[in-house]
Amino acid sequence: MAMKITDGQIISLQRRIAPELTDVIVLRYYILRSVGQCQPVGRRVLATSLGRTEREIRREERQLRRAGLISVSAHGIRLTSDGEDILRDLSQYVSQLSGATSLEARLVEVFGLSRAIVVPGDSDADASAKKDMARAGARLLAEVLREGDVVAVTGGTTMAEMAAAAPASGPGVARNITVVPARGGLGEDVEKQADTVAASLAKQLGGSYRLLNLPDDLRHELLAGIVAEPRIRQLLHTITRARVVVHGVGTALEMARRRNFSEAEIERVLSLGAVGEAFGYYFNSGGEVVYTTSSLGLRLTELATVETVISIAGGASKGEALAAVLRNGFSHIVVTDEGAARRALHLASNER
């Protein structure tokens, strides 16, 4: 009696006997994904976003059009209804084909996580991967949320996209969920600030929100007076009651600049070995805190009592920062892309 071949074995066989087919399938998936997110879109934009030549895009476009998955007009390329259907089905298959699924298992093992989600691609080179990562984070959040939850979120571009991608609760549907900023704002674009992300996410989920309306770089001498204010004290208490925390990860240099550190301060932070940042804490490659900012919001000691802490970061350029933050041990789940996952695991294996 013949043994049944599993999906994993089929994919392994395909990689061995026709590795070039794997590259074609993954590229066509990336093209369909980019078209779906930007349609109608031209060849030149697709080529630039995917780091390919227009000739390559034109060749694959012909094949996808013959298969009935895209349509091409003077306005650009669009997905057909069949293209939309196959794109949904193709995502999980490509994750296994490209190795993203095995990366998830390795991240869980190496960093002691309860779960890892890795989307195909590298968001440094492909904006579609970043959008996929944000959507994956939004789906995960919807999965873990319960009625009565307090959810704390940080700011940043990926977090803002995650909030926008959260499944809408429907008009007139109210939920007993409160979303709060985990920290103050960084004086950057309003759309990326933690307060804005919290408000956007709450509206999508049909919940309520509370705002800090304070910068994250307050001087230490100002904090005592502000914390004594009843509204702030009550809000900080609500933040510490969060059952779910979703946060981004930044490189040490990027976050020092976003906090308007002087060149001397930046040099000092980097000289201490800082490579990654989260919640105002700067971590070295071993996951140790080497520098802390004085600001309002969640502290590392308070994260120890949070039931679900989700880290979201992508792009190979953030791989070292992500590894540093995950090594600290406060994260339970990570949502990332292949670029960051491979870089983080590469660094971890080299330091063993």
Q: Where are the domains of the chain?
A: 7-97, 99-350
**Residue where the block lists tokens 């490209």:** 98
- What residues have CB less than 8 Å from 98, skipping those under 6 apart? 22, 26, 120, 338
d(CA 17, CA 249): 39
Q: Given this model, what pLDDT does residue 347 score?
A: 94
Same CATH topology for 7-97 and 99-350? no
Return the CATH class of domain 7-97. mainly alpha
**Strand, coil or helix: 164:** helix
Predicted pLDDT of residue 213:
75
User: Please, are residues 250 and 325 in contact by the beta-carbon 8 Å criterion?
Assistant: no
Please say whether the beta carbons of 38 and 54 come within 8 A: no
- CATH of span 99-350: 3.40.50.1360
Contact (CB, 8 A) for 103 and 314? no
Q: Return d(Cα 113, Cα 104) in angstroms, integer.
A: 10
Mean pLDDT by 10 residues, the chain (352 residues): 62 72 86 90 89 90 94 93 88 78 93 95 88 92 94 94 85 82 75 91 94 70 69 89 96 91 95 95 96 84 94 97 96 96 91 61
Q: How far apart, in whole angstroms, are the C-alpha atoms of residue 328 and residue 89? A: 36
As a whole number of angstroms, the longest Cα–Cα distance in the chain is 77
